[in-house]
Amino acid sequence: MTISPSTMEDKSNKLILIPILAVVFLMIGYQYICPAGSNSCRFLTGDKLSGMFRQYHSGDDIYAYQEGLESEGSSKTLSKFNFTDRDLERHVDFNIKGDDVIVFLHIQKTGGTTFGRHLVRNIHLEQPCDCMPGQKKCTCHRPGKAESWLFSRFSTGWSCGLHADWTELTNCVPVVMNKKDKKDAQRDRRNFYYITMLRDPVSRYLSEWKHVQRGATWKTALHMCDGRSPTQDELPACYSGNDWTGVTLTNFMDCPSNLANNRQVRMLADLSLVGCYNVSTIGAERERGRVLLASAKNNLRNMAFFGLTEFQRKTQYLFERTFGLRFIQAFTQINSTRAASVGVGEGALRRRIEGLNALDVELYEYAKELFLRRYQYSRQTQHREQRLRRRQERQEERQWLHQHTAPISKARREEEEREIEGVEGEEVGGVATTEDYSSQVVRW
């Protein structure tokens, strides 16, 4: 059978026509599904996806991911805890000339010494703290008054005991401040704004171990609760002698009454809820821990401010936004600590430390998300404030232009109308006003 050249040409044309029709059909379908101007077919490119993935796994992981979302114009974040706007919004009308007092709750080995020095040496104040060379304490008086606006180690000393916790401070500070400033308790109208610093529990625990290993004890701490200090039976010592110098990490972890365990939760919780240091008042250890953790979270959330050692710049920003104060020099992030030199890896040693500090681990997870969410919330609020301020400035400019150009435009229009009086059909008013307005804008 012989196939003519014309038949072969017709078949080849049909084969070519099929893919062309398929392409046309796909284009029509795409236009139907994704019409012009629609947001339904906007996809992230591979570069953008990989960029956000890298952000999420970088140093400031949670915030970096949230910042990526914020740049996309979305307010949604990955949240494990149900924080409200009231939890996130932090701004106090701190009146340094009135009766307001900032109370710094200093937890051991959380970077509190560095932050405490920032408070007395690095804040831009009308009347700066008076820090004399060679003296540990500074005098931080209100402008024109011999009264302290700051209750901290570097301003009032350890007036409520060495490293006083939340239970001690809330009962002690008002009494001490009244004595110092000689105020009648009935006339006392002070607002006490409590602040603190937290740190990653494993790093903090290792740092405390290294500190104790060098001879630190904090044995003069009062641990006052419900009007008394704990007995020797309630809080037995972990060592005999003057200190625990040279203690190994294993021995440090083996002491069941070591206050380094879950120190951050204990320092922030209301210890009266569990009978203070009398462990027999609440039955199971797990129940006692649950009560302490819930109390620590609640007190931390309701504090005026808390910072995280791992986020120095964000800590500075949130403090400034909260109190309306400004630091003179920027905070610096220092990661080369003694705790960082202790290699615990990800194995059994780390798991044991985390087990001994299980409450602190959960508290820090809670605190970290709350801190980063507050940072994002504050940044978004600041951006809105800036937009509103720019909008108001533009409105004021337009009002100024309107007030200053209208009389000139009217006089110019009347003059031009007199000059061309009698010329029929000439629309002078609008032209004159427009030209005069433009000239005013140029001069402005």
State the chain's maximal CA–CA distance in angstroms.
122
Catalytic residue among 106, 163, 383, 402: 163
Distance between CA atoms of residues 127 and 144, nearest Å? 8
Residue in this structure with the two tokens 């996309």, named with its chain if needed: 72
Distance between CA atoms of residues 444 and 398, nearest Å? 11
Distance between CA atoms of residues 145 and 47, nearest Å? 59
Write out the two tokens for 261.
Answer: 């365990």
Distance between CA atoms of residues 96 and 107, nearest Å? 25
CB 204, CB 311: distance < 8 Å: no
Write out the two tokens for 365.
Answer: 């997870």
**Nearby residues of 412 by Cβ (< 8 Å), 6 or more positions away:** 432, 436
**SS3 of 92, please?**
coil
DSSP letter string over 172-198? Answer: HHHHHHHHHHT--GGG----EEEEEEE
**Nearby residues of 414 by Cβ (< 8 Å), 6 or more positions away:** none
Q: Alpha carbon of 216 to those of 110, 163, 208, 243, 399: distances in Å?
A: 15, 13, 9, 7, 67
Distance between CA atoms of residues 395 and 389, nearest Å? 10
Q: Give the count of beta carbons closer than 10 Å to the beta carbon of residue 64.
A: 16
Catalytic annotation on 163? yes
Write out the two tokens for 169.
Answer: 């401070």
Catalytic residue set: 163
